[in-house]
Amino acid sequence: MINFQYLRADTQKKAIDALAKDASAQFIAGGTNLVDLMKKGVTSPQRIVDITHLPLKQIEKVPGYTRIGSLALNSEVAEHELIKNNHPLLSLALQAGASPQLRNMATVGGNIMQRTRCTYFYDTEMPCNKRIPGSGCGALQGYNRMHAIFGASDKCIAVHPSDMCVALVALDAKVLVSGPKGNRRIEFEDFHRLPGNDAAKDNVLQQGELITGIEIPDHPFTKNIHYLKIRDRASYAFALISVAATLDIQNNVIQDVRLAMGGVAHKPWRLPAAEEFLKGKKVSEEIFREAAKIAMNGSKAYEHNAFKLKMAPAAIIESLKIAAKLD
Amino acid sequence: MENKLKEPFMPPIDRVDGKLKVTGAAKYSAEYNIPQMAYGVMVGSSIAKGIILSMDTKAAENAPGVLGVITPFNIEKPAGYNIETSGNISATKKGFNVFDDKLIRFSGQPIAIVMADSYERALHAATLIKVNYKKDSFQTNLEKAIPVVKPLEGNAFKDYTRGDVNAWKTAPVKIEAEYNIPIEVHNPMELHAITVHWETPDKVLVYEKTQSLMDTQEKIMELFGLKKENVHIITKFIGGAFGSAFNVWPHAVAALIGAKQINKPLKVVLSRDQMFMNVGYRPQSIQKISIGAQPDGKITGINHEAISMTASYQEFTEGIVNVSRMLYDIPNVFTRYKIYPMDLSLPTWMRGPGETTGAYALECAIDELAHALKMDPLKLRLLNYSDTDLEKQRPYSSKYLKEAFEIGSEKIGWNDRHPEPRSMPEGDWLAGYGMGSGVFIGWRGGAQVGARFTADGKLLLQSAVTDMGPGTATAMTKLAAETFGISPDKIVFEMGDSSLPPGIMQGGSGTTSSLGTTVNNATLSLKKKLFELVKNKAVFHTETIHDVKFEDVVFENGQMMLSSDHTRKMSYSDILESAGLDNIEFIEETKGFNNVDYSTYAYAAHFVKVLVHPATGVIKMEKIVSAVDGGTIVNDKTARSQIIGGVVGGIGMALMEEGVVDNRYGRWVNNNFADYHVPVNADVPHIEALFVNKPDPILNPMGSKGIGEVAMVGFAAAVANAVFHATGKRIRALPITPDKII
């Protein structure tokens, strides 16, 4: 770890200014990911700007939306009555992530900003286009059991590790951002990006932009929900595959549905074609199977993750079945 | 022997050091701080094989707080280096002395130690070293090595044949299968750490994580040409080791050299990723087993061939195939063991070494045979139960595996299961039952124990042993209390210091057997000494007994009393007082036992129930019963914990542990706790640990046989067999992760 400057921002403006002027500065909140990356030498900010004293912790209902401050802790959001009642899918996804100790430190904004856990990204002796653009992708021909089956490029096949984000993309959340050029609201779906030719860039944030919160629009998805996470052990492991599924069922007909996957792409992976297929259909295992098949269009496996081509559709079916209480 | 444990046994006692451990007062090797102490950080090679052409250490040396940087280019070699590698010995016997030469033998090999006035400064400076290598081609892939690399030769690799090697082939029922176990890494919670203080140029105090004080002391004496009394090793507590703390590893030698060079106390703590390449691991193995049997289940022949690996610079062997020579009553046996030198760091003993690996294959193969025979796997094992050791041609000193089978199968409800695979659905899940047997040798080495009994009724026992977790001091305290007849709270067992009377290493399930025998003998000696002091006293003389003999008295509740008349007694304190003594002090020594007439083994019968979710591949351990024949159990409470620990290790082995090396670089890719999975609490159900608890009449006066290793041997097979029973799928390559099920 090299020396760095620590700055505590007492206003949002000061925080944004500090980063806008200094490309080597980074925000820190819970630090559950950034500190690891600094210890491993993956990232070496010369200045870290502590934003934990900004008033961005609120969890509140406003007309049409639920608004969650970016500094609300993962554990607080998961346990909050408002979230448990109105957005139970988010609560489930949060509880599937990390460990209680980490959830007690990690913030919503930090969860969105966390970087891939690809081991080639973490080992500074290995090639990684995300860490050092142009150095190559270590995982492409390497050990890629945990890696992407959707939307990857030959520059990067890493996956986004978050569980929370899978639920948020399913719920059409918006990311509230404040920056040197003012405020903007980004669709969750558009926030994280695919690696393409620029694997170094995880998302569309501009230098100096700060996530201030998220908004989840009101929705009817409170009854038929499930977050399925398949992992190598029962807790404290990243997803091999995860599926957020929620249905609005009236008279056994699917009025609306949301489906998203984790552990499969460089971003939380929404399944719009499968959703479209399911809308208006009667609930049955058969149509869930069809939907899962549709969801897998365009998937591509590598040497060690071919199992995901089988596990992902199985997980979609399973998650939909549980959400629809089909058993 | 006269000092046997007798029923009713004293109730189990709590860990004597439990409070220190849970309150954080227990001090581990990384927690000693000495004034003026510096911190060392190891730098590892980034290539797997080759030679270091040059190193630029200027920036590191000039970094703030840096006190020194040692590399192969500037090392002042200790005297022992020259002895170690001289002479005409083969490459794999030479070993590897840190910084001794510029050759790179494995990725992560220590190539420098950076020492600074703070850990952070040392860590930063370590990143500033630039290395120029000449790379060589290397081999870290065992499968690819087999056709091109020559396996090692020597006594350890001689084939074993009993009877007809082809017997299995001509049997009416036969199975053949290959089993794979990846590299597994010990990963104790406590990182390996050493704190070194050269008190004078030829006298050193070392706080080191070690399972063997005496071996560590000897190695350091050899390395630096020091006298025994000038090498003082202290290991008061160990936060788990599982076999990784026998060797004096390169970082420890680097710390010793470094502290000497900067003339300051020095602490070196490995990082978690360094733990993967510096302190050993369970070597990868590929095992082929072929068994033939009669239709009634009687096994006629077995072949067990194992391929494993070692480092290119040092031989490491373990008894992988030995289980197949003696666990069953099989007339025709062939075993073969080959190891290939690889460009990886040195493997070492890991819990149940060899046997754990071999029993996984053997006990899965037995299950496969049972399935082929359409026979209950337990019945098949009983049918081929061995009553004598056919390999060594001698009887067992005791064998209660049958009893372990009985209590274990009863507890898990073995007979209530449907034997057909995939026949026990529970909702969306498939239930399955499996079993596996474990076996591990029982032995007894020599040990010394210092005893000091004082007039206040307190007994101090001392021995240079360490405790990696099983509760050695607790067991010894209980044993002394039970055999000497005083309360455990009057006893202190002091350990973890090489200046105490030399004890025994902790490992191979031999500590309690070896050290316990000496403690047992010490309390016997103590009783005899007390007896000698007062045997002529009138209180012990009755109308019929004038010449009281040792056999005529008993020692209970701190009193020596006549067996025939408990009112004729004297307290131990009064005995000392009447003799005008403040204390009785002596060193008890017991020689090791050469077990020539009998074979002694401890056994385990593991039974598990798993639930498998066929759609997603998720496996849940639902029930675990491990019944153990470890002879007499000295302290039930800590013994139970040992079984639980071994079983948790077994869950990891069966379901999640896999060390992964990227063979393009010869470099680890999952050297951290996020990617190398060990079980968490949510993976572990209630574990029922049962003991047969019958004494072994031969090995030692306690009747114990050892339990630490056998707790893990055969467990992974029980899980794999249960997964087969649940799903009908035979997964032969560990770990059984969800992707292999779907």
Its ipTM equals: 0.96
Do B32-136+190-239+245-278 and B285-440+601-741 fold alike per CATH?
no
B86 pLDDT higher than 60: no
| Residues present in chain A in total | 327
Q: Report the percentage of chain B scoring pLDDT > 70.
A: 99
Task: Give me the pLDDT at residue B527, please.
Answer: 97
Residue B436 CB neighbour total at 10 angstroms: 31
Most B-contacting residue of A40, A115, A123, A309 (CB-CB within 10 A), to test interface: A123
Q: To which residue do tokens 């491990």 refer?
A: B626
What distances in angstroms separate CA A154 from CA A130, A160, A264, A283, one per listed residue?
12, 16, 15, 39
A117 touches chain B (CB under 8 A): yes
Task: Give me the pLDDT at residue B3, please.
Answer: 76
Task: Give me the pLDDT at residue A1, please.
Answer: 57
Kindly determine whether residue B669 and residue A145, on different chains, have CB atoms separated by under 8 Å: no
- Cβ(B321)–Cβ(B308) below 8 Å: no
Task: Give me the pLDDT at residue A3, please.
Answer: 82
Query: Which token pair is B157?
Result: 């690799």
Query: Which token pair is A238?
Result: 């990243």
Residue A1 to residue A40: CA distance in whole angstroms: 8
B369 membership: H or E segment, kind and range: helix B355-373
Instruction: Provide mean pLDDT across the span A27-46.
Output: 95
Q: Which residues contact B532 (CB under 8 A, 6 or more apart)?
A: none
Most B-contacting residue of A143, A227, A242, A327 (CB-CB within 10 A), to test interface: A143
Q: Which residues contact B307 (CB under 8 A, 6 or more apart)?
A: B142, B146, B151, B285, B286, B287, B338, B339, B340
Q: How far is CA B350 from the centre of its chain?
A: 6
Give every strand in the sheet of A269-270, ordered side by side: A224-230, A241-250, A253-262, A269-270
| Mode of pairing for the β-strands spanning B459-462 and B491-494 | parallel
Residue B325 to residue B392: CA distance in whole angstroms: 9
| Chain B residues touching residue A307 (CB < 8 angstroms) | 739-740, 742
A127 touches chain B (CB under 8 A): no
Q: Please write the tens of the pLDDT for every residue from B273-301.
A: 999 999 999 999 999 999 999 999 999 99
Buried b (16+ CB within 10 A) or exposed e, A16-34: bebbbebeebbbbbbbbbb
Instruction: Provide mean pLDDT across the span A137-161.
Output: 98
pLDDT band of B233, cuts 50, 70, 90: very high
A218 pLDDT higher than 90: yes
Q: How far apart are the first and last CA of chain B?
A: 58
Query: At B702, is the secondary structure helix, strand, or coil?
Result: coil
Task: Give me the pLDDT at residue B507, please.
Answer: 94
* Domain spans of chain B, in order of start: 32-136+190-239+245-278, 285-440+601-741, 444-590
Kindly determine whether residue A126 and residue B665, on different chains, have CB atoms separated by under 8 Å: yes
| Chain B residues touching residue A234 (CB < 8 angstroms) | 620, 680, 682-683
Mean residue pLDDT of chain B comes to 96
Most B-contacting residue of A119, A126, A137 (CB-CB within 10 A), to test interface: A119
Task: Give me the pLDDT at residue B85, please.
Answer: 52
Residue B678 to residue B608: CA distance in whole angstroms: 18
Query: Which token pair is A37?
Result: 């990356």
Number of A/B CB contacts below 8 angstroms equals 84
What distances in angstroms separate CA A209 from CA A38, A110, A114, A296, one per listed residue?
21, 13, 15, 34
Catalytic residue numbers of B read 709
pLDDT band of B5, cuts 50, 70, 90: confident
A120 touches chain B (CB under 8 A): yes
Instruction: Provide mean pLDDT across the span B377-398.
Output: 97
Kindly determine whether residue B660 and residue A123, on different chains, have CB atoms separated by under 8 Å: no
Q: Which residue of A has its CA nearest to B665?
A: A126
Residue B584 CB neighbour total at 10 angstroms: 20
Q: Which residue of B has its CA nearest to A125?
A: B46
Give every strand in the sheet of B103-104, ordered side by side: B103-104, B50-56, B130-135
Buried b (16+ CB within 10 A) or exposed e, B348-380: bbbbbbbbbbbbbbbbbbbbbbbbebebbbbeb
A55 touches chain B (CB under 8 A): no
What are the residues facing B620 on neighbouring strands?
B611
Instruction: Provide mean pLDDT across the span A283-307.
Output: 98
Residue B396 to residue A277: CA distance in whole angstroms: 69
CATH architecture of the domain with residue range B285-440+601-741: 2-Layer Sandwich (3.30)
Sign of CA dihedral B87, B88, B89, B94: positive
Query: At B604, is the secondary structure helix, strand, or coil?
Result: strand
A2 pLDDT higher than 80: no
Q: How far is CA B472 from the centre of its chain?
A: 13
A318 touches chain B (CB under 8 A): yes
Kindly determine whether residue B46 and residue A310, on different chains, have CB atoms separated by under 8 Å: no
A327 touches chain B (CB under 8 A): yes
Query: Which token pair is B551?
Result: 């056999």
Task: Give me the pLDDT at residue B1, please.
Answer: 41
Query: At A13, is the secondary structure helix, strand, or coil?
Result: helix
pLDDT band of B21, cuts 50, 70, 90: very high
Task: Give me the pLDDT at residue B88, please.
Answer: 66
Q: What is the DSSP string of A187-217?
A: EHHHHB---TT-TT--BSPPTT-EEEEEEEE
| Mode of pairing for the β-strands spanning B193-200 and B203-208 | antiparallel
Q: Please write the tens of the pLDDT for every residue from B481-499.
A: 999 999 999 999 999 999 9
A237 touches chain B (CB under 8 A): yes
DSSP state at residue B464: B
| Residues present in chain B in total | 742
Kindly determine whether residue B124 and residue A314, on different chains, have CB atoms separated by under 8 Å: no
> Residue B470, preceding bond cis, omega within 30 degrees?
no
pLDDT band of B92, cuts 50, 70, 90: confident
Kindly determine whether residue B742 and residue A314, on different chains, have CB atoms separated by under 8 Å: yes
A311 touches chain B (CB under 8 A): yes
Kindly determine whether residue A117 and residue B675, on different chains, have CB atoms separated by under 8 Å: yes
Query: At B198, is the secondary structure helix, strand, or coil?
Result: strand
Q: Report the percentage of chain B scoring pLDDT > 90.
A: 95
Q: Which residue of B has its CA nearest to A1?
A: B124
- Cβ(A321)–Cβ(B613) below 8 Å: no
List the helix and strand counts (H, then E) for chain A: 13, 12
Å between B123 CA and nearest CA of chain A: 7
Å between B665 CA and nearest CA of chain A: 9
Q: Which residue of B has its CA nearest to A141?
A: B664
Q: To which residue do tokens 């021909």 refer?
A: A141
Q: Please write the tens of the pLDDT for every residue from A115-140.
A: 999 999 999 999 999 999 999 999 99
List the helix and strand counts (H, then E) for chain B: 19, 31
B559 pLDDT higher than 60: yes
User: CA nearest B13: which of B486, B468, B447?
Assistant: B486
Q: Please write the tens of the pLDDT for every residue from B495-544.
A: 999 999 999 999 999 999 999 999 999 999 999 999 999 998 989 988 77
B313 pLDDT higher than 50: yes
Residue B702 to residue B718: CA distance in whole angstroms: 30
Task: Give me the pLDDT at residue B82, please.
Answer: 76
Q: What is the DSSP string of A67-127?
A: EEETTSBHHHHHH-HHHHHH-HHHHHHHHHSS-HHHHHH-BHHHHHHPPP--HHHH-TTS-
What distances in angstroms separate CA A88 from CA A72, A108, A167, A247, B616, one per listed residue?
17, 16, 9, 12, 23
B444-590 under CATH 1.10.10.10, yes or no: no
Residue B84 to residue B82: CA distance in whole angstroms: 5
User: CA nearest B186: which of B147, B231, B238?
Assistant: B238
Query: Which token pair is A119?
Result: 């081991």
CATH code for the structural domain at B32-136+190-239+245-278: 3.90.1170.50
Q: Please write the tens of the pLDDT for every residue from B121-162.
A: 999 999 999 999 999 999 999 999 999 999 999 999 999 999
